[in-house]
Amino acid sequence: MSKQAVLYRMVTDEHICPFGLRSKDLLEREGYEVEDNHLTTRQQTDEFKQQHNVETTPQTFIDDKRVGGYDDLRDFFGKGEAGQTGTTYTPVIAIFSVSAVAALAMALGGEVFSLHTLMLFIGFAMILLAVQKLQDLHSFTNMFITYDLLAMRHLRYAYVYPFVEAYAGIGMVAGFSAWLVAPFSLFIGVVGAMSVFKAVYIDKRELKCACVGGDSNVPLGFVSLSENLFMIVGAILMMILA
> What value does the mean pLDDT take over residues 210-219?
76
Q: What residue ranges do the domains of the chain occupy? A: 3-76, 90-241
162: Cβ contacts below 8 Å, ≥ 6 apart: 130, 133, 134, 137, 140
Instruction: Report which of 26, 16, 18 is spatially closest to residue 5, judged by C-alpha positions.
Output: 26
Using 50, 70 and 90 to split pLDDT, how confident is the model at 127?
very high
Q: What is the pLDDT of residues 39-54, one digit of tens each?
A: 999 999 999 999 999 9
For residue 21, the model assigns a pLDDT of 94
For residue 115, the model assigns a pLDDT of 87
Using 50, 70 and 90 to split pLDDT, how confident is the model at 150?
very high
Mean pLDDT rounded to a whole number for the chain: 89
Listed range (3-7, 10-14, 38-42) with the worst mean pLDDT: 10-14
Q: 59-62 and 32-39 as β-strands: parallel, antiparallel, unpaired?
A: unpaired
Q: Could you tell me the fold of the domain covering 3-76?
A: Glutaredoxin (3.40.30)
Q: What is the pLDDT of residues 73-99, one digit of tens each?
A: 999 999 877 655 556 777 888 888 999
Rounded Cα distance, 182 and 189, in Å: 10
Decide if 120 contacts 107 (C-beta within 8 A).
yes
For residue 164, the model assigns a pLDDT of 96
- The percent of the chain in helix, strand and coil, each rounded to the nearest 5, is 60, 10, 30
If you average pLDDT over each of 9-18, 52-61, 135-144, which comes out highest?
Answer: 52-61
**Global confidence as pTM:** 0.74
For residue 82, the model assigns a pLDDT of 66
How crowded is residue 72: how many other Cβ atoms within 10 Å of its Cβ?
14
Decide if 75 contacts 83 (C-beta within 8 A).
no
- pLDDT value at 1 more than 90: no
> What value does the mean pLDDT take over residues 231-238?
92
Q: What is the pLDDT of residues 151-189, one digit of tens each?
A: 999 999 999 999 999 999 999 999 999 999 999 999 999
> What value does the mean pLDDT take over residues 56-65?
94
> What value does the mean pLDDT take over residues 120-134?
93
What is the distance, to the nearest Å, from the Cα of residue 28 to the centroid of all Cα atoms in its chain?
Answer: 29
Rounded Cα distance, 14 and 20, in Å: 15
Instruction: Report which of 121, 144, 115, 120 is spatially closest to residue 132, judged by C-alpha positions.
Output: 144
- pLDDT value at 4 more than 70: yes
Instruction: Report which of 162, 128, 124, 117 is spatially closest to residue 143, judged by C-alpha positions.
Output: 162
